Amino acid sequence: MIALLAVLKNNFYRLMSHKSRIFLCFGLTLGAVLASVFINNSSVTALKVAIVSNNQAEIVSPYLNITYVDIPPSSSELFLGKYDAVVTYSEERGYEVETIKNETFKAKIEAILKNPLSYAPESESIRQIGTSIIGFLTMFILMQGVSTMYLFAEDKEYAQIGRIAVSPVPFSDYLLGHCVFTFLFLLIPTLSVVCFVKYICRIPVGFSFLEYLFLLSVICVLATAFALFIQALIKNGDSANMIGSVVAVLTSILAGSFYSFEENNRALAVIVNVLPQKIFLTFADLLEKNSNIGVLLPHIILLVLISLFFFLTALFITNKTYVVSALRQQKEGTCV
Amino acid sequence: MQQFYKILKIDVVNLCLEPAFVFFSIGFPVAGALILGFLSSGSYGNTVSSYDYYGVAVLFFGVSNAATFSANSFMEEKIKSANMRIIYSPVPKICIYLSKVAAAFIFCSLSCVISAVILHLLLKVNYGGSLAWGPFVVMLCSVFFFSAIGVLVCCFFKSESITNQIISPIIALLCLIGGVFFPIEGFGKWVVLASWLSPVKWMLTSCAEIIYDRNFTLFLPTVGILTGLSILAILISSKLFKGEDYL
């Protein structure tokens, strides 16, 4: 316990020698929150269709966002997703739909065009604002976690860790100290930025303060454990940083932090569903839709177990690389 | 020139000898395109596959990681002491940072070309057939741009850990609003407007126009602006780089 506090205190002084880091952290977090609010407020659920025609009645449908054009859009505009489909109308052949999407999608557009008023789409679960913000912050906090573990990476780089390994300090206390520090460094800026946006800018952010406190704590614990795990797995601090942030980006995107991919593939859906971010997002979604505690609890237990797994694995690996080898060298009389 | 060539050679070798870097720069774009493409393959039809989209788009995430490579080869602990020696030797200072930009450029261009070839052979990703030189030139300019940006951030903050802290989120954000991970054009008007702030968006759009429309309108502006910005970044780095506060 004393060792833990000592590590915390020491890390705090080391952080204070790089004050720009703190400002950067606040700035980046503010950017992430504002970007998520901005993107979420202007997302469009209607399908974008371009109609090539010169004379015809206007089609009104809440499910279509129609642009009338004289020249058909180029295929690169379809490729980049500017339009979901291009529709050509002629007296003889009626509507002709051209799209790069699949047949089901084409049939859906045709159905809406034939009968714009009576078309009812299958109800899709739309994510609410709180979950969207949390989704954005998930990737961001995971990335920040990896780079905040730099103090531990520095310890490895400058061989401080070897000295701690041979000292009577319990190694788990030392790692826990780094974890608590990273956790606080992640949680405090994020929480204060969210409060700033919620109470001072008066932008609706979905959850209440306590809910945010809880959700952000959970994701910060996960990010800290993940960062420690990556730093323990890869010895070189820079490589660990690089690989950790890329893994965070890729898995967050797969888990649908920003954009839910349609799950057409059973095998991959299983893999995506066990990603911690996906479990976390499902949890946030359920919380926002006011589910009862019985539904929420399993998700939380799973997340805690995953974090614990990361931490214990990291402890095992670092213990093996540093403590055991240091003790052996001590016994053999060779210096570290 | 001789001195520059020697430093450059060592820098390139340093990058190539780090297994994590090699794995990361080639494996990541291939794996990313495979996974994201596979995930969304069902919603695409026969004319354009999801691999066609992600094969091009995720490649630009690999390209933008050139900034991390140049930053790491510039500020890494192992290289710092060697650089300190160069500062006090009769070699122009410009050799130090310019060779890092050049080394990251060579390393990333090579790995991007290799991943593009793998993706083309494996998933038949369309890179424009006979016009493939167009996207290739855009890619080279983008690698150059991001390499220069990496060194600029290093010169500005003068610390590797801060550079690492800031560069990865910014790259992720640029790629995100540039439409690398999902088509950003499907979002609202303001997001589409804001997405033009990201250079990744220019790269992706000009490549898409070349590949699918055989249209080179955006090609010259993109290449010109990227090269101009890269040269500007190098000039600012040379103003900011002071050997004395390097440590």
Contacts of B186 in chain A (CB under 8 A): 44, 48, 81, 84
The identity of residue A316, as a single letter, is F
> Which pLDDT belongs to residue A55?
62
Q: For residue A99, what is the nearest residue in chain B, using CA coordinates? A: B45
pLDDT band at B112 (very low <50, low <70, confident <90, very high): very high
A219-257 pLDDT per residue, tens: 999 999 999 999 999 888 888 888 898 889 888 888 877
> Which pLDDT belongs to residue B97?
85
Residue B5 phi, psi (nearest 5)? -60, -40
> Which pLDDT belongs to residue A119?
63
The answer on pLDDT for B206 being more than 50 is yes
Which of the residue ranges A35-44, A141-150, A199-208, B235-244 would you say has the lowest mean pLDDT? A35-44
Structure tokens at B102: 């050049």
Which of B59, B200, B74, B165 lies closest to A242, judged by CA?
B165
> Which pLDDT belongs to residue B145?
96
Give how far B190 is from chain A: nearest CA, Å.
Answer: 7
- Across the interface, of B77, B181, B187, the residue whose CB is closest to A43 is B187
The answer on pLDDT for A121 being more than 60 is no
pTM value is: 0.85
Which of B43, B184, B51 lies closest to B126, judged by CA?
B51
The answer on pLDDT for A210 being more than 70 is yes
Contact state of A79 with B20 under an 8 Å Cβ cutoff: no
Contact state of B45 with A238 under an 8 Å Cβ cutoff: no
Q: For residue B42, what is the nearest residue in chain A, using CA coordinates? A: A264
B147-166 pLDDT per residue, tens: 999 999 988 888 777 888 88
The residues, any chain, with a CB within 8 Å of residue A145's CB and separated by 6 or more, are: A182, A186, A220, A223, A224, A226, A227
> Which pLDDT belongs to residue A127?
67
Q: For residue A254, what is the nearest residue in chain B, using CA coordinates? A: B36
Give how far B225 is from chain A: nearest CA, Å.
Answer: 21
Strands of chain A (E only): list them.
47-52, 64-69, 85-90, 94-98
> Which pLDDT belongs to residue B116?
93
Residues A40 and A132 sit within 8 Å (Cβ to Cβ): yes
> Which pLDDT belongs to residue A56?
62
Q: Among A87-91, A241-245, A307-311, B28-32, which range has the highest average pLDDT?
A: A307-311
Q: Among A55-69, A102-116, B26-40, B195-209, which range has the highest average pLDDT?
A: B195-209
> Which pLDDT belongs to residue B108?
94
Q: Residue B128: which region, alpha, beta or left (left: phi > 0; alpha: psi -120 to 50)?
A: left
Cα gap A135→B172, rounded to integer Å: 14
Radius of gyration of chain B (CA): 18
Contact state of B166 with A148 under an 8 Å Cβ cutoff: no
Cα gap A81→B53, rounded to integer Å: 10
- Across the interface, of A44, A76, A246, the residue whose CB is closest to B24 is A246
The residues, any chain, with a CB within 8 Å of residue B235's CB and separated by 6 or more, are: none
B16-74 pLDDT per residue, tens: 888 888 888 888 889 888 888 887 777 777 778 888 888 999 999 989 989 988 988 88
Top pLDDT among B139 and A88 is at B139
Give how far B207 is from chain A: nearest CA, Å.
Answer: 9
> Which pLDDT belongs to residue A123?
47
User: What is the average pLDDT across A9-16?
Assistant: 90
A137: exposed, middle or buried (Cβ count in 10 Å: 0-12, 13-18, 19+): buried
Structure tokens at A221: 């614990």
Radius of gyration of chain A (CA): 26
How many whole angstroms from its chain centre is CA A334? 46
Top pLDDT among A109 and A297 is at A297
Residues A48 and A65 sit within 8 Å (Cβ to Cβ): yes
pLDDT band at A336 (very low <50, low <70, confident <90, very high): very low
Structure tokens at A195: 């409060």
